[in-house]
Amino acid sequence: MIKLIGVTKKFDDLRALDNITIEIKDGSICALAGSNGSGKSTMLRCLAGIYKCDEGQILIDNEDVYDNPKIKETCYFVPDYPFYYYDSTLDNTAKLMKGLYENWSDETYEHLLKITALPRDKKIINMSKGMQRQASLIIAFSTKPKYFFMDEIFDGLDPVIRGTIKKIMVECATENKTTCIVASHNMREVDDVCNDVIFLHSGKLVESDDTEILKESLNKIQIAFSNIPEPKVFTDLNCEIVSQTGGYFVLMAKGNLQEIEDKLKELNPDYIETIGTSLEEVFINKMEEAGYGK
């Protein structure tokens, strides 16, 4: 299990992380999302033990991660911009990582090479951006860590490889109880794979919960009227008007859905339907509540 207890990380006067306290259970695939500059990458680097917290503590399996080689061996960090030496190839990088991670799997490495068809002896710096991203993920998954910290890993990947990476993540979580924390600015990429989510804004924690619970807390309602009601009617029911075309409204409702639907039906609509919300819609709503983008 991962625990962040009152974690603060500062860069001069900037609080990149500001008193963050959360727990992330084993086997979770957790989306880490937030506004630009919210502290996502900083949190991943603190989790990986690259940055030392200025205040608070990060515990992985009840041990402090910073300056702890035993715990770091159970973790693998995939940065937004992977670094490779000039002469790095997949094979010599694999040889290096095999000496650092005792759970290294040659079987996984060969399997992923076959799937991606990447050249094993070509200099990685001469590969395309998408191929470099694939190379970093081949090495990452082959180390077989208990904890993955991944920063924008889907950037530059084609749809086929994105689907493959998601499948591997789910297999790691379900079969090996691997914990994957995936920072992303694109909620559509992680909506179908993550079971937990953390939202950050300006270094502060906005929300941390089960993905489905968050989706169920916000409901989209399509409703149509011949006799158009005043907008205040919807506001009083804790419904935000997302869009309106004549007598057709799309509402975002918070609170007890059944009570809201019953009240809306009292307005005698010609049509009413409740549809599920996406993680992106939840994210936008939470960011607006935090004062971002208004």
- Summarised one tens digit per residue, pLDDT across range 40-57 is 999 999 999 999 999 999
**Cα 291 from Cα 190, distance rounded (Å):** 24
Kindly report, residue by residue over 140-185, the tens digit of the pLDDT: 999 999 999 999 998 888 899 889 999 999 998 998 899 999 999 8
Which of 177, 196, 213 is the last residue before a domain boundary? Answer: 213
Mean pLDDT for all residues in the chain: 92
> What is the pLDDT confidence band of residue 292, given thresholds at 50, 70 and 90?
confident
Same domain for 176 and 192, yes or no, is yes
pLDDT of the residue at 196: 94
For residues 241-253, give the mean pLDDT. Answer: 92
Yes or no: say if 5 and 57 are a contact pair by the CB < 8 Å rule. Answer: yes
For residues 236-246, give the mean pLDDT. Answer: 90
Q: Is the pLDDT of residue 293 over 80?
A: no
The structural domain count of the chain equals: 2
> What is the pLDDT confidence band of residue 294, given thresholds at 50, 70 and 90?
low
Alpha helices in 101-244 (DSSP H): 106-116, 129-142, 159-176, 187-190, 211-216, 231-236
Domain membership flag for residue 77: yes
**276 or 23: whose pLDDT is higher?**
23
For residues 92-109, give the mean pLDDT. Answer: 93
pLDDT of the residue at 50: 94
Which of 187, 213, 239 is the last residue before a domain boundary? Answer: 213
Same domain for 202 and 263, yes or no, is no
% residues pLDDT > 90 (the chain): 66
Domain membership flag for residue 294: no
Buried b (16+ CB within 10 A) or exposed e, 93-132: bbeebbeebeebeeebbeebbeebebbeeeebeebeeebb
At 26, the amino acid letter reads D
Q: What range defines the domain where residue 253 resides? A: 217-289
Yes or no: say if 61 and 74 are a contact pair by the CB < 8 Å rule. Answer: yes
Yes or no: say if 263 and 237 are a contact pair by the CB < 8 Å rule. Answer: yes
Q: Is the pLDDT of residue 16 over 90?
A: yes
